[in-house]
Amino acid sequence: MRKLSAFEMSRRNLLVGTATSVAIATSGIAKAQNDKAQNSVSSPLTAARPDAPAMATVSFSVNGEVRALELDTRTTLLDALREHLHLTGTKKGCDHGQCGACTVIVDGQRINSCLTLAVMHEGDSITTIEGLGTPEHMHPMQAAFVKHDGFQCGYCTPGQICSAVAVLDEIKAGIPSHVTGDLNAAPEFSNAELRERMSGNICRCGAYSNIAEAITEVAGRPA
Ligand code: FES
Ligand code: FES
């Protein structure tokens, strides 16, 4: 019989070892699939409807009114407001946190409502553009946007106004921004602070100079 060379020996060992590993891995996968199948059969929820979404109840205050919703846990706050509560003033632009059209104020802080799940806001207080003012009694920021023509198509405007209201509160609260020079001093309202803080709100119509004039007036500074 022909004697195997050292190379052929190691190649054979490698093939045998690989085949063993594949067999072990395959049996592991089969076991995991079997376990999963057994578990899903034993769960009454998944047995009834394996693709059923996980649902949860969430309750929060929207514009001063307590609202309770039964939602798919994947529902964003933006979709909860627009699709479930029919508050369509808050707009969906990009749905990816890039345009600011969906900005609302939650417990005094502005957030992109497309980037957060509704079920994360149990007990929170949410203000949308509908809660800031009405056509008869506009919030000073809404009135300033009208006065300074701070919009064209208006799609970005609810987000711009909610953001602007929160920006002035942030400055009043002494919260610094990326362009604040002295982090130990209270930030001052300035053109640079305004542009930096509003940079997350995109206006496709380019109404920026009028938006800046409106916010500057409400801040109590000469335009
Ligand atoms: Fe939320 Fe654009 S829709 S940031
Ligand atoms: Fe049209 Fe801003 S007014 S996008």
Query: pLDDT (tens digit, 9 = 90+) per residue, 173-188?
Result: 999 999 999 999 999 9
Domain boundaries for CATH 3.10.20.30 within the chain: 55-131
Neighbours of 52 (CB within 10 A): 10
As a CATH number, domain 55-131 is 3.10.20.30
Q: What pLDDT is recorded for position 49?
A: 75
Residue 24 clears pLDDT 90, i.e. is over it: no
Q: Is 76 helix (H, G, I), strand (E, B) or coil?
A: strand
CA of 102 to the centre of ligand 1 (A): 5
Q: What is the 139 CA–ligand 1 centroid distance (Å)?
A: 23
Q: What is the pLDDT of residues 42-97, one digit of tens each?
A: 455 555 677 888 999 999 999 999 999 999 999 999 999 999 999 999 999 999 99
Of 91, 156, 162, which is best to mutate to test ligand 2, by the most ligand atoms within 8 angstroms of its C-beta? 156
Spatial separation of the C-alpha atoms in residues 8 and 104, rounded to whole Å:
70
Phi, psi angles (nearest 5°) of residue 105: -110, 120
CATH 1.10.150.120: which residues of the chain? 133-219
Q: Which of 45, 71, 43, 47 is nearest to 57 (CA)?
A: 71
Question: Residue 131: CB within 6 Å of ligand 1?
Answer: no
Q: Which two tokens stand for residue 146?
A: 């009208």
Tokens representing residue 23 in the block: 């067999």
H/E run at residue 67 = strand 65-72
Task: Report pLDDT digits (tens) over 206-221.
Answer: 999 999 999 999 999 6
Distance 113 CA to ligand 2 centre (A): 18
53 lines ligand 2 (CB under 6 A): no
Q: What percent of the chain has pLDDT over 70?
A: 77
Say how far apart CA 152 and CA 86 lie, in whole Å: 24
The superfamily (CATH) of domain 133-219 is [2Fe-2S]-binding domain (1.10.150.120)
The verdict on the CB of residue 92 being under 6 Å from ligand 1 is yes
pTM to 2 decimal places: 0.78
